[in-house]
Amino acid sequence: MKPIYFPEPFRIKSVEPLKMLTRAEREKKIADADYNVFYLASQDVYIDLLTDSGTGAMSSQQWAGVMMGDESYAGADCYYKVQDTAKKIFGMPYIQLVHQGRAAEKVLLGILLSGKKYAISNMHFDTTRAHVELAGARAIDCVVPEALDTTKYYDFKGNMDCKRLEQYIKELGAENIGVIIMTITNNSAGGQPVSVENIRQTRKIAHKHGIKFMIDAARYAENSYFVKQREPEFKNSTIDEIIKAIFEDADCFTMSSKKDAIVNMGGLVGCRDKALFELIKQRTISFEGFITYGGMSGRDIEALAIGLQEGIDENYLKYRIGQMQYLAARLDEAGIAYQSPVGGHAVFIDAKKLLPHIPYHEFPAQALAIELYKEAGIRACDIGSYMLGNDPDTGKQLEAEFEFTRLAIPRRVYTQSHLDVIADALINIKERASEIKGYKIVEEPPILRHFTAKLRPIK
């Protein structure tokens, strides 16, 4: 029997035509792009799975909101709306607007890590890691071991390994750790959820040692939906109630609004402590802009206030996670390995398993991303050794825990037929996998290199 996925709780009012290139044209485009998908023109991409960040489709209500946006420098109406909505959703007394997630990290981590040596997280996203390093500290990942086996079922592969966390605190000294960060969902582990139980336990450990507990809330709504499905305590709770349980007693959070708040630009910082909020406001004014707009235009703030509500609607979340599960089921049929069970915003193909002949230092996940573009004009990206980069102390290529090719699905953008194209392309690639070659880097910057590095195929 075929499973029934929850269908789109919307219909389409406006469409964006796509260009269709031939395979020969795509081969030339990717070579001209130095085999870095970030250098491709979006017009040359058929299905863009580079990210789910800022790529969602806004609703007619949000577009109407764009016209209502108040562009005043100080005290704009939309500012009060977004404050109201965010305080209600997160249950945090202090909320600051910033222009995106990494701006939130820049504002907050600079404060929390001042005079400190370490940040520990279930897994840092790459910009979070960069801001920890820019603040002069080192980022330590501490995810549960279950996350490392992509074929093994585990309800909450995003969880913090609390035993190991305690050991790290003992070894490194609580006084040297500026913050413990819970990333929900755990993007780098495959968009995997974190349980409320694990959040509570981690928070308890942090507070026992006098360390601040922060949530990276980029995909908090998708995380909450998984909690409802998988954590018995919450099976009868509303999404709203689960969000309250997640944020309860967290000291602060950063958020990229470009994901679960379904807007093209925006970010938030939240906290409970007035003294901390004063510091956040000061840094926001210097880095982002006056506190009532925080680097955003009024029209985007208005759309954000609406998107925050739409992104936590349970029917929407059912459809959203259902898209991932549909694509994952097609890959199961074809025997293509991915981080399983599938996560909330993307399917993370296990490139180590699909291309076992390519070693980590020849970037199998990047090789697969390039193949997907050649095969069907699909743009995916490497979340593996190519993205991880070099050790900041030794300059040597690091070996990532995973070699994932991430197929991030934008919100409310692609149909089930698009998902079928993705599955069919992967099936075709699997058939000729042994012929696919690795890549070498011929030019790279020292930090966040995957965005701008240049590569060549290894002959």
Q: Which residues bind ligand F0G (CB under 6 A)?
A: 51, 53, 100-102, 125, 127-128, 183, 187, 216, 218, 256, 258, 267, 408
Q: Which is nearer to ligand F0G, 189 or 436 (CB)?
A: 189
For this structure, is 313 an active site residue?
A: no
Cα→Cα distances 306→1, 253, 265, 327, 408, Å: 39, 20, 13, 29, 23
Q: Which is nearer to ligand F0G, 103 or 441 (CB)?
A: 103
Q: What value, to the nearest 5°, has the Cα angle with vertex 311 and ends 273 and 250?
A: 20
For this structure, is 131 an active site residue?
A: no
The number of angstroms, rounded, from the C-alpha of 18 to the middle of its chain's C-alpha atoms is 25
**Which one of 48, 52, 141, 216 is the catalytic residue?**
216
- Tokens at residue 7, please? 């269908």
CB of 49 to ligand F0G, least distance (A): 10
For this structure, is 126 an active site residue?
A: yes
Please answer whether residues 442 and 454 qualify as being in contact, where contact means their C-beta atoms are separated by less than 8 angstroms: yes
For this structure, is 258 an active site residue?
A: no
Residue 69 pairs with which residues in a beta bridge? none
Please answer whether residues 318 and 306 qualify as being in contact, where contact means their C-beta atoms are separated by less than 8 angstroms: no
CB of 62 to ligand F0G, least distance (A): 18
**Which one of 125, 168, 213, 414 is the catalytic residue?**
125
For this structure, is 168 an active site residue?
A: no
CB of 200 to ligand F0G, least distance (A): 20
- Tokens at residue 163, please? 């035993």
Residues 6+ apart with CB under 8 A from 299: 65, 66, 67, 68, 69, 71, 78
CB of 122 to ligand F0G, least distance (A): 10
Q: Which is nearer to ligand F0G, 81 or 258 (CB)?
A: 258
**Which one of 31, 73, 208, 240 is the catalytic residue?**
73
- Residue 114 has what DSSP assignment? T
Using a 10 angstrom Cβ sphere, with 0-12 exposed, 13-18 middle and 19 or more buried, the burial of residue 337 is middle
**Which one of 126, 141, 251, 382 is the catalytic residue?**
126
**Which one of 258, 259, 345, 352 is the catalytic residue?**
259
Q: Which is nearer to ligand F0G, 216 or 375 (CB)?
A: 216
- Tokens at residue 129, please? 């890691």
CB of 128 to ligand F0G, least distance (A): 6
Residue closest to ligand F0G (Cβ): 101
Q: Which is nearer to ligand F0G, 131 or 352 (CB)?
A: 131
For this structure, is 73 an active site residue?
A: yes
CB of 412 to ligand F0G, least distance (A): 17
- Tokens at residue 72, please? 């005043």
For this structure, is 216 an active site residue?
A: yes
Q: Got the DSSP string for 21-74? A: --HHHHHHHHHHTTT-GGGS-GGG-SEE-S-SSS-PPPPHHHHHHHHH----SS
Q: Which is nearer to ligand F0G, 130 or 358 (CB)?
A: 130
- List active site positions: 73, 125-126, 216, 218, 259, 450
